[in-house]
Amino acid sequence: MNSLLQSLFYTPEFRLAVYGFEYDPDLHGEASRCIPLQLQKLFAELQISVAGAASTKDLTTACGFTGRDAMQQHDVQELCRVLFDALERSSSLLADAIRGLYAGQSTSYIKCKEEINGKVYQSARTEKYMDLQVMEGENQWLCEELGAKVDALKGLTIESLPKILCIQLLRFVFDVATMRRKKLSEVVALPLLLDLAFLSDSGSGPSLYQLAAVCLHSGTAHGGHYHAFAWDPSSGAWRDANDTRVQVLSATQCSALFGAGDSSEPQAPRALHSADAYFLLYRRVSETEVPRVQDSAIPQCLRDALLSENQRLSRLQRAYDLHRKLLEVKVFLPMAAQRALQRYAATQLEALGAAAPEAEPEMSVTVKTSSQRPAAAVQRKVLKSLASSDMSWCRDLDLAAVKSARLRLYDPWRGLPGRPLEGSRALGDSLGGGFNSTATLVMELPDTSGCFEQWQEDRTVTFLVLWDKQLGAPSLGSGSVVALRLPPAEATCAAGEADLAKEPTQVPTSTETYEPEPEEVQQDLFALEVPTEPARSRGDRSPLLRTVREAAATLWNLPASSHLALVPLSGTQAGKELKGDDLTLQGSGCEYGDIICVEQLEGSGASQAVQLVEEKCNTAKIYFNHPTRPQFTEEFPPIAISKDAPIFELKARIAQALQLDASTLHLCRSQHAPAMFKDESRTLRQAGLAEASSIFVGEGAPCSPEECLLKVLLYTYDKGNHKARELFSIPARGDSSVRTLREALYEPLLRWAKEEDPEAIGFDPVAVTGWKRLRLRDGQAGKQFAILRDERTLRSSLLGFGDGRQVAVQVMAEDEDLGPDDLVILVRPWRVREARLHASTEIVATRNQTLAKFQDMLAERFKGLLQAEDEKENIVPVASGKSTNEISKARGLPQLGALPSWDEKENILPVACGKSTDEISKDSLEIVAAHNTGPPLTSKRCETLKWRDSRLSPGLQRVDKPLADFKEVRDGVTLVIRSRLAALAGAEVSEPEPGSGKGGKKGVAKASAKAALKAKGGDSTVTVSKGGAERGLVIQVAHPEAEAEEVAPVSPNAI
C-alpha cells in the first residue's frame, strides 16, 4: 500500500481531486469509516506535516483492514483497482476524476474472412489491433449473417488512451510442472518516454507518455517487499519512497538509475534492476502545464489542524535537542579510586576468604550540564557544589588541593582512571561524540612535584596484590592493592632488538656475485644456535613477567636478591605460579582483570599463595549417602578431597567412612541420574564433579565401560491397566541378546520374590521353574511395553540403550519361547449392542498358521462374545421396525433364510467359500485390523473401521491361506472382533433428513465481508477485485454515495 500511495500522491490531478472532497457526516457517516476523508488527511500530512513519516492506520481502518490483513502482502495492481472502486462508490466527484485520469476505451472485434454481400463483414470498424487470434477449426466463429461457423480473426483496438496509463507487467504465473506460483525475473527495459502512436488512431489524442512512477517488488511469489520510484512534477526530481524513508535522487543517481554510467556518490542507491519492476505509471505528455498543488488547496480545517500539530512537533523537537545536549556528570573524588580498587580485589578473592571492606559513603558529586561546555567549567561547578555541601566527608576536604586536580574518565567498578580530559575542549567531544546522557569522571591530584601521570594509550592494566606473611593471606590494605600500567612486551624488547641490529648480516642479492666459503666454515655457520624468542599471540599488549617483578620490587621496596613469586589468585590460572621472565602475562594464560599476588620467597620454599588457592579453591566437599538409604544424602560428614584426585580415591574414602568394601560399591552423579562412573581413573575435574556438592552411592560393583546398568521393572496387567514396579538394576552389554538377559534375570528375580508377598507381586516364586517363564518388555515411558524378541540384541531392541534404561519382566503361567515365526497379536473384543470395548488380550500365533485355524482359535477363546441360539429371534430391536433381512440388505450383508442371487454370490460369497446358507446363519466373529496410530481406539471409533473390506472375517476370504499372506497381520497388531449377529442388530439405518448434515438440502452462504458489515449495522457494499479472488482482497465501503444515474460500464479490456 505504501508504494501505491506514494505513486498516487505525486499525481497532482489525483491529489487535487482528493482535496476537493467535502465530508458530510450525514451523508458519509462516521469519519473513521470514510475512505476519501482518511485519504485526504494522509495526503495533507505528506504535503505539509513536519513529521518524519505519516501513519496509514486510519486509512486501513476505514477500508476495513485489520491487523491480520496488514501483515499479509497483497498485489499492488489489485489493490489499485479495489481502491479506485471504493473511492468511486464513496464519492461521485472522485468517480469522475478517476475516470477522467485513468480510464481509457478499447474495442474487441471479430473480422469474418467470408464475403457477405460483396464485402467483408466485421463486428466493429477498425484498422489497428493489438492482439490477433485466429478462430478456425473447432474454434470457428458462429456468424449470424451467414448462419454458419466460419473462420474469423479476433482482436482488440484502442479507441482512446487515458491521461495516466497504468501498466502491469506479468511477473507471477502458475508453474504446471511444480503446481506452484512462481515469479518471473526477466529483465525489462523501462524507457522514460513511451510512444504509443501505433496503438491508437491519429485522432485519438496525444500518444507520447513519460514515466511517472515505478513500483518494484523484490522477493518471491510467496512474499517480498514493495518500494517505489516516483517523479515529482513540481520539482522535476525523482524520489525513492521506501516505506518511512523517502530520498530525493540526485542527477548522478538518476543517470545510474535509468541510463549507463557509474555513480560516484557514496550514498547513491544501487542501480535499479528492471527485473523487479512490476507496476508502472506513465503520464501523457501534453502542452498544458502540470497543475501545482498549493497548500491552500487543502481544506481549511484540515490545514489548521496540521499547522497546529507542526508547532507542537517543533516545540518537542527543540526540547529533544536540548535534552540530547544535557549530560549528567558524576565526578568522584581522588580517594574514591583507591577504595573502589580495594573493593574490586576483595570481590575477586571472595572464594579465598577475603572480607569485603566496610561500606563507606560514596565520595562523588553529580552535576548536570550541557555537552557543549568545556571540562574546566564542569570542574568549577563541582568545586562550587563541594564548597556548599554539608556532607561529613566534605568538611575535612582540602579544597585548595582539589582545585589543582584534573578530570579523567573513570571505571567505578575497578577504580581505574582513564583518559584525561582537556580543560578547554567541549565535554561532549572529550567523551567521544555521539549521544551520551551520562558520564563518570574522577579527579586526579598531581604528585609532589606538581606533575600528573603521563597517559599512554597502548598500555594495559595489571592488578597486583602483596602477600602478607603474618596473616598468611593477601593484604587488601591501602597501598597493598595497585593497578599498574606497564609497558607491553614489544616496547620492552625494543632495546634488545636495537642491539641485534648493530651488526647486520650481509645477505647476497641476485645482483651481487660472491665466492663460496670453505665447507668447514659453512658447517660452523650451520652449527650456530640462534636464540629464539617465545612465541606471542597477535595483539598481545601485556607486559613481560620480568617487567612485573621489577615494577613490584620498586613499588614495595622489596630486596632485589629475594625471589618474587607471581601467583594468580583469580581466573583460569589461579593457584599456578608464573615462572620464567621472557613470557608475557597473556602468554602465561592470564587474562585482563586477574588479580596477581606478589610473594617474597626465601630460598626454595613453597609458595603460601599456591597452598591457599589449593586449599580454598581446588578442594571439593562432597556429601554422600548409605547404599541402603539413598534418600539421606547428608547423613555423614562430607569428604574433603582435591578436585584433581581420581574417582577411585573418593570411593575408597567413602567406603572407609561407611565401613564397607569399596569393591561392592559404585558411584553415580545423583539418584535420578543413574549413569555411573565406570572409568574410576578419571579425576573429579575430568568427570565434572569439581563443583558437585553430593554424590550417589549405589550397591554393586561398577560396570565395565562396555556395559550399561539397566533398571528392571516387574510388569503386571490388571483389568486393562499396565502396571510396573521397579525392582533392581542389572548390568548388560548392548551386543548381547534378549535371551541372554532373560537367563540372567531368573536368579535375581527369584531372590527378590522370596522376600515379597506372593499376593502382592502376583505370582508364586515356587511356580517359576525356569527362565522361559519370563517375558521381557520395553519399560521406557511411551513404548507401550512392547515385547522384546529373543533373537534381537538389546541395543537394537531398546532404543537409547544406556545407563538407566528401563526393561520390564513379566512372569508367565507357562513356558514361552518365541521364535522368529511367532506373532504376538493384541485382540480387543467389542460388544456392539452394549457399546463396550474390552481391554486387549495377547494371543500368540505363527506365520504359517492358516486363517481357518486362527479364526477357530479366536472363536474358542472368545466364545462368550457369540450370540446364543435363543437370542437369534430377538437380535433385532423392536424400535427399528425392520427385519434382519432388511437390515442385512441395507448393509450389503448376507441375508438370513434366503439364498442369494448369482450377483450376490460374486460380490459377497465367493465360490471358494464353500458354505451353505445354514452355516452362514450361525453366529461367527468378524475380525478387522485397527491402526496403532491416530486417536485412541474407542467404541465410537470401532464403528468407522472397515468391517466389510476386512479379509480376516469368516466367509469373506479363503481360509486355507497362512497368516503370512495377510499384510495386516503382523507382530504387535491390534485386532478388533465382534459378533456378526450382534452387528446386524446394531443401530438403526436411518436416512438423513433433508437439509441436515452432509448430503442435505443446500444452504445459502453469506459472503464473509457482507456478513461482517451487516453485523456492524448500517448500509454497506463490498468491493472485491476480480483478479484477486485467490487472496480475497476486500475493501469495505461503509457508506457508499448513491449514484444519480447509471454509468455505462467500462469494457473489461479497458486500460
Domains defined along the chain, listed by start: 2-104+165-298 (3.90.70.10), 105-160 (2.20.210.10), 351-453 (3.10.20), 456-495+540-617 (3.10.20.90), 618-699 (3.10.20.90), 707-818 (3.10.20.90), 823-984 (no CATH)
pLDDT the model gives residue 491:
57
Helix (H, G, I), strand (E, B) or coil at 199: helix
**Kind and range of the H or E run holding 568:** strand 563-568
Beta pairing, strands 326-332 & 438-444: parallel
Say what the pLDDT of residue 113 is. Answer: 66
Who contacts 536 (Cβ-Cβ below 8 Å, separation ≥6)?
Answer: 489, 584, 586, 587
**Residue holding cell 516545540?**
315
Q: How many residues does the chain have?
A: 1055
Q: Residue 1012: pLDDT above 50?
A: no
pLDDT higher than 70, residue 669 = yes
Q: pLDDT of 41-88, one tens digit each?
A: 999 999 899 888 888 888 888 888 877 766 677 788 888 888 899 888
Q: How far apart are CA 726 and CA 748, in angstroms?
A: 13
Confidence at 1, pLDDT banded by 50, 70, 90: confident
Cell 569522571 identifies what position?
A: 441
Q: How far apart are CA 811 and CA 762, in angstroms?
A: 9
Q: Is 641:619 a contact under the CB 8 Å cutoff? A: yes
- Cα dihedral: 1038, 1041, 1042, 1048 (round 10): -110
Q: What is the pLDDT, as a whole number, of residue 596?
A: 95
Residue owning grid cell 438370513: 896
The confidence band for 1042, taking pLDDT boundaries of 50, 70 and 90, is low
Encode pLDDT of 618-641 as tens digits: 888 899 999 888 877 778 888 888
DSSP type of residue 776? E
pLDDT of residue 553: 93
- Note the pLDDT of residue 249: 86
Most confident option among 348-357, 459-468, 560-569, 787-796 = 459-468
Lowest mean pLDDT among 133-142, 230-239, 514-523: 514-523
pLDDT of residue 994: 45
In the predicted structure, residue 1014 carries a pLDDT above the cut 50:
no
Kindly report the three-state secondary structure assignment for every residue of 341-364: HHHHHHHHCHHHCCCCCCCCCCCE
Highest mean pLDDT among 59-73, 252-266, 502-516, 567-581: 567-581
Average pLDDT estimate for 463-481 = 91
3-state secondary structure of 430: helix
Question: What's the confidence (pLDDT) of residue 251?
Answer: 82
Listed in sequence order, the residues at least 6 apart from 631 whose beta carbon sits closer than 8 Å to its beta carbon are 625, 671
Q: For residues 140 and 153, what is the distance between their CA atoms, to the nearest angstrom?
A: 10
304-318, 433-447, 482-496, 705-719: the lowest-pLDDT one: 482-496
Min mean pLDDT across 378-382, 835-839, 877-881 is at: 877-881
Q: Taking 50 as the threshold, does the pLDDT of residue 1024 lie above it?
A: no
All three cell numbers of 1023: 468491493
- Which range (49-58, 125-134, 599-608, 701-710) has the least confidence? 125-134
pLDDT bucket at 272, cuts 50 / 70 / 90: low
Tell the residue number behind the cell numbers 430377538, with chain if given. Answer: 874
pLDDT of residue 409: 92
d(CA 812, CA 905): 46
Q: Are 92 and 99 in contact (CB under 8 A)?
A: no
For the chain, the maximum distance between any two Cα atoms, rounded to a whole number of angstroms, is: 133
- pLDDT of 904 > 70? The answer is no
pLDDT in tens, 796-826: 989 888 888 899 999 988 888 888 888 888 8
Q: In sequence order, what are the beta bridge partners of 307? A: none
Contact by Cβ (8 Å): 640, 674: no
pLDDT band for position 522 (50/70/90)?
very low
Please answer whether residues 1051 and 106 qualify as being in contact, where contact means their C-beta atoms are separated by less than 8 angstroms.
Answer: yes
Q: What is the pLDDT of residue 513?
A: 40
Query: If you average pLDDT over every residue of the chain, what do you get?
Result: 78
Decide: 847 and 963 in contact? Cβ < 8 Å.
yes
Average pLDDT over residues 892-919: 35
Q: What is the Cα–Cα distance from 977 to 860, expressed in whole angstroms? A: 13
Q: pLDDT band for position 92 (50/70/90)?
A: confident
pLDDT at 894: 36
Residue 532 confidence (pLDDT): 45
DSSP assignment of 18-29, as one string? HHT----HHHH-
- pLDDT tens digits for 150-161? 888 888 778 888
- DSSP state string for 967-1015: TT--TT-EEEEEEHHHHHTSS---PPPTTSSTTS----PPPHHHHHHHH
H helices of 501-618, in order, are 519-527, 545-556, 608-616
Q: Of 40-44, 375-379, 820-824, 990-994, which range is least confident?
A: 990-994
Who contacts 218 (Cβ-Cβ below 8 Å, separation ≥6)? 224, 225, 227, 276
The predicted pLDDT at position 651 comes to: 93
What value does the mean pLDDT take over residues 990-1005?
42
Q: Which of 264, 245, 244 is nearest to 256 (CA)?
A: 264
Main-chain phi, psi angles of 1036, to 5 degrees: -90, 125
Per-residue burial over 611-636, b = 16 or more CB atoms within 10 Å of its CB, e = otherwise: ebbbebbbebebbbbbbeeeeebeee
Question: What amino acid occupies position 1042?
Answer: A
Place of cell 557509474: 262
The separation between the first and the last C-alpha atoms of the chain, rounded to the nearest angstrom, is: 21
How far is Cα 390 from Cα 386, in angstroms, rounded to an integer? Answer: 8
Phi, psi torsion values for 550, nearest 5 degrees: -65, -40
Q: How many CB atoms lie within 10 A of CB 52?
A: 9
Q: What angle do CA 181, 184, 188 make, to 5 degrees?
A: 155
974's CB contacts (< 8 A; 6+ apart) are: 825, 826, 827, 828, 840, 929, 930, 932, 937
Whole-number Å distance between alpha carbons of 426 and 376: 9
**Could you give the residue ranges of the DSSP H alpha helices within 847-952?**
851-861, 884-891, 902-907, 917-921, 939-942
Question: Model confidence over 939-988: pLDDT tens digits?
Answer: 888 888 888 888 888 765 577 888 888 888 888 889 999 988 888 876 44
* Section 871-900 average pLDDT: 39
pLDDT at 881: 43
Segment 524-540, tens digit of pLDDT: 433 444 444 444 555 78
Torsion sign (Cα): 903, 909, 914, 918: negative
Region 649-661: what's the mean pLDDT? 93
